[in-house]
């Protein structure tokens, strides 16, 4: 299934995309895709529905993040060896963890707001994993059974805040609109193997990133298992799993986003996002 949230900011409704690409309303079944509801039991219930019995949604409504809120927005750094190299950093021996503020979540076509005093705004196409079952000390063999589904994430980054000064990654990753997610959440059964998905990102129509999830240093099953030994993962938690090479920081000289720039990014089976960078307006 492809699960979505549609409508104006703050007033989104849950829906699904049927096999014909038609948006169908789910608000008669579930009031929203809040974290505590993002469970494998919910998706089993939704899978039993006949999509043709659900009301159609006409027009072209805005799509919000397919998860209303996440209790924890976890990110993995330097998870592609060639991206670590372009960043001038060694390949990690274990996953590099940091957090993005849950408030950075936004819709896949919403504008990305360049923060006040932003100097080095950058892009990162990433595979995001949405947890659907509580995970604590799970084995790698059992890890994927705790995954509800997958989505495209743009891990927008302010590199000056992330790397320079005190160099705290979270503060360079957490501004408003720094976490576009979607266009939909695709359930695990429809995705299959998460370690063989093509991915790309363009800026102003120029291809910047091209990759495949098979080149991750640490795959999804390893990450979920590893994380579950460091913290409890809850339904609705989002784990974004790192980016392939081609970010602005890695260009020679570096290239950073400015207001008016347009990012378009996609992952196989998971759809396409598009965002325009706008200046902070107060």
Give the DSSP per-residue string, 52-94.
GGSPB--S---EE-SSS--S-EEEEES-BHHHHHHTT-PPPSS
Structure-block tokens of residue 169: 């990654």
Lowest mean pLDDT among 19-33, 84-98, 148-162: 84-98
The reported pLDDT for the residue numbered 87 is: 79
* Share above pLDDT 90 across residues of the chain, in percent, rounded to a whole number: 93
Query: Mapping DSSP to helix (H, G, I), strand (E, B) and coil, where does residue 48 land?
Result: coil
Angstrom CA distances, 16 to 4, 28, 49, 57, 99, stand at: 6, 12, 11, 10, 29
Does the pLDDT at position 282 exceed 70?
no
Using CA atoms, how far apart are residues 257 and 122, in angstroms rounded to an integer? 6
Query: Average pLDDT, whole number, for the chain?
Result: 96
Which of these, 151, 125, 121, lies nearest to 38 by C-alpha position?
151
Q: Is the pLDDT of residue 84 over 90?
A: no
Q: Token pair 């991750």 is at which residue?
A: 216
* CA-closest candidate to residue 276, choices 113, 52, 101: 113
Rg (CA), the chain: 18
Buried b (16+ CB within 10 A) or exposed e, 161-172: bbbeeeeebeeb
Pairing of β 271-279 and β 112-114: parallel
Q: Report d(CA 125, CA 181) in Å as an integer.
A: 10
Is pLDDT above 90 for 126? yes
Lowest mean pLDDT among 56-65, 88-97, 110-119, 146-155: 88-97
Under the banding of pLDDT at 50, 70 and 90, the label for residue 123 is very high
Asked whether residue 49 carries a pLDDT value surpassing 90, the answer given is: yes
Asked whether the beta carbons of 186 and 157 are under 8 A apart, the reply is no
């Amino acid at each position: 299934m492809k699960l979505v949230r549609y409508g104006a900011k703050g007033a989104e409704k849950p829906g699904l995309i049927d096999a014909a690409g038609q948006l169908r309303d789910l608000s008669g079944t579930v009031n929203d895709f809040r974290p505590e509801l993002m469970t494998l039991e919910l998706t089993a219930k939704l899978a039993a529905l006949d999509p043709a019995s659900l009301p159609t949604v006409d027009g072209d409504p805005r799509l919000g993040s397919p998860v209303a809120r996440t209790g924890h927005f976890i990110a993995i750094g330097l998870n592609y060896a060639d991206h670590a190299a372009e960043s001038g950093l060694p390949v990690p021996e274990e996953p590099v963890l940091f957090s993005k503020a849950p408030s950075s979540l936004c819709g896949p076509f919403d504008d990305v707001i360049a923060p006040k005093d932003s100097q080095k705004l950058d892009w990162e196409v990433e595979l995001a994993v949405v947890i659907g079952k509580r995970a604590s000390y799970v084995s790698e063999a059992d890890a994927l059974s705790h995954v509800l589904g997958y989505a495209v994430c743009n891990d927008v980054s302010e590199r000056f805040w992330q790397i320079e000064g005190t160099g705290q990654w979270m503060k360079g990753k957490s501004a408003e609109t720094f976490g576009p997610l979607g266009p939909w959440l695709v359930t695990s059964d429809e995705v299959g193997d998460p370690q063989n998905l093509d991915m790309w990102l363009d800026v102003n129509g120029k291809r910047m990133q091209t990759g495949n999830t098979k080149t991750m240093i640490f795959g999804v099953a390893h990450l979920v298992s590893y994380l579950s030994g460091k913290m409890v993962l809850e339904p609705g938690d989002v784990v974004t799993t790192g980016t392939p090479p081609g970010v602005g920081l890695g260009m020679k000289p570096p290239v950073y986003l400015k207001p008016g720039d347009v990012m378009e990014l996609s992952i196989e089976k998971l759809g396409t996002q598009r965002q325009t960078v706008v200046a902070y307006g107060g």
